[in-house]
Amino acid sequence: MFVYEQRAPWRDEAEQACLASRAVQVTAYVEPAREISGPGSCGMLRPFRVSAVADGTVALSRKATWACPVIPVIDGWVNEVVQPAAEMIYGSRVVELKAGSYSCRSVMNRRGGPRSEHAFGNAMDVMAFRLADGREVSVARGWRGQQPDQEFLREVFVGSCERFTTVLGPGYPQHDDHLHLDLARHSGGRRVCKPIIKFAPRLGAYAAAGGAVTPRPMGGGYGTAAASRYGEPLPGPTDRRPVPLGGAQALSQPVYGQQSGATRAPANGQGGYGQAGAGQPRPATYPGLRPGGPMQLEFPGAGASTPEGMDMDEPTEGDDDPFAAQPTAPSWPPTPPRRYP
């Protein structure tokens, strides 16, 4: 028994817009599938069965079933975030993702709970990354594991928060072994990125330097603070201040949680999934960011109309949330991938 059984009209509208744009092409690794209609509101108009992403360069450990809008966003995320982070930290590329996709179920499998975005083929769970050199970086072991794994997973986490409207990871209930990424439409055009972490990403400096950046010193870990009222630091390696970036580099790093006037929510709540719209700016740089200091990512809980990402055991936050300034979820189509040097 589910609540919110009625399927929101915007889901079909966004899927139809994506299909009309031909953003997803049928290939040897992306195959059209028959409509999934039910049970209840679960399903997709025209799902795709996907065996590899990023132009077939990164295999999936098992075939995924996704709706059209999320596929190009996953491709861009792999090309713009995952691969540069892997090259920067490991000197190797990712060749396979251990990931999950469509599942007609409720959020966190709670009986009587609202539908998960997985029920609409609008989400991906990532459990591990396999590299070309043979190593595997799992979320369960790596988030509090060796320093390179910690850094890689946090680079991926931060980059995901720019591209998806919901990102949940270790420290958020029932997400200690995977990253949940989806394109849910949150009330007020919000994005949800939990837990709050302190981390200075380096991908911007890596790209600006043409793919060369000074490594972090080995040893030590990164501080992680859980979101909202999960306020105690998580157990794990001792917090260590990241290597300072130069002033210009540090100030060029985006801080997630700022809302630009050019990216307001669509009028009357209309629009598609939460991809970054063409020509729309990234979140503004926080004016108070201290050069070389760690970055604090602060995102509020989702509004009551949003299933995935809600604090299911706590009241949802209102407009008086102290973390209420955040980027909106722009409408379709997504920004074409930016290529790193």
Express each pLDDT in 158-190 by its tens digit.
Answer: 999 999 999 999 999 989 999 999 998 888 889
pLDDT digits (tens, 9 = 90+) for 15-42: 999 999 999 999 999 999 999 987 777 8
Phi, psi of 253 (to 5 degrees): -80, 130
pLDDT digits (tens, 9 = 90+) for 110-158: 665 567 788 889 999 999 999 999 999 999 999 999 999 999 999 999 9
Is residue 238's pLDDT more than 50? no
Residue 111 or residue 71, greater confidence? 71
DSSP collapsed to 3 states, 18-61: HHHHCCCCCCCCEEECCCEECCCCCEECCCEEEEEECCCCEEEE
What's the number of domains the chain is made of? 1
Percent with pLDDT over 70 in the chain: 58
Is residue 319's pLDDT more than 50? no
Query: Is residue 22 one of the residues assigned to a domain?
Result: yes
Query: Is residue 337 one of the residues assigned to a domain?
Result: no
Query: Is residue 165 one of the residues assigned to a domain?
Result: yes
Q: At 248, list the tokens.
A: 């210009």
Question: Measuring CA to CA, which residue among 283, 280, 272 is closest to residue 336?
Answer: 280
Using CB atoms within 10 A of its CB, is residue 201 exposed (0-12), middle (13-18) or buried (19+)? Answer: buried
Using DSSP's 3-state secondary structure scheme, residue 161 falls into: helix
Query: Is residue 328 one of the residues assigned to a domain?
Result: no
Average pLDDT, the chain: 70
Q: What is the pLDDT of residue 300?
A: 32
Q: What is the pLDDT of residue 209?
A: 84
Could you give the C-alpha distances from 36 to 40, 44, 178, in angstroms and in order? 11, 5, 26
- pLDDT tier, 205 (very low <50, low <70, confident <90, very high otherwise): confident
Q: What is the pLDDT of residue 277?
A: 35
Q: What is the pLDDT of residue 252?
A: 31
- pLDDT tier, 216 (very low <50, low <70, confident <90, very high otherwise): low
Name residues whose C-beta falls within 8 Å of residue 9's C-beta, 6 or more positions apart in sequence: none
- pLDDT tier, 5 (very low <50, low <70, confident <90, very high otherwise): low
Query: Mean pLDDT throughout 250-272?
Result: 32
Residue 264 or residue 45, greater confidence? 45
Query: Is residue 282 one of the residues assigned to a domain?
Result: no
Query: Is residue 2 one of the residues assigned to a domain?
Result: no
Per the confidence metrics, is the pTM higher than 0.75?
Answer: no
Query: Is residue 316 one of the residues assigned to a domain?
Result: no
Using DSSP's 3-state secondary structure scheme, residue 290 falls into: coil
- Which range of residues forms the domain containing residue 239? 9-269
Is residue 64's pLDDT more than 80? yes
Query: Is residue 324 one of the residues assigned to a domain?
Result: no
Using DSSP's 3-state secondary structure scheme, residue 224 falls into: strand
Is residue 49's pLDDT more than 80? yes
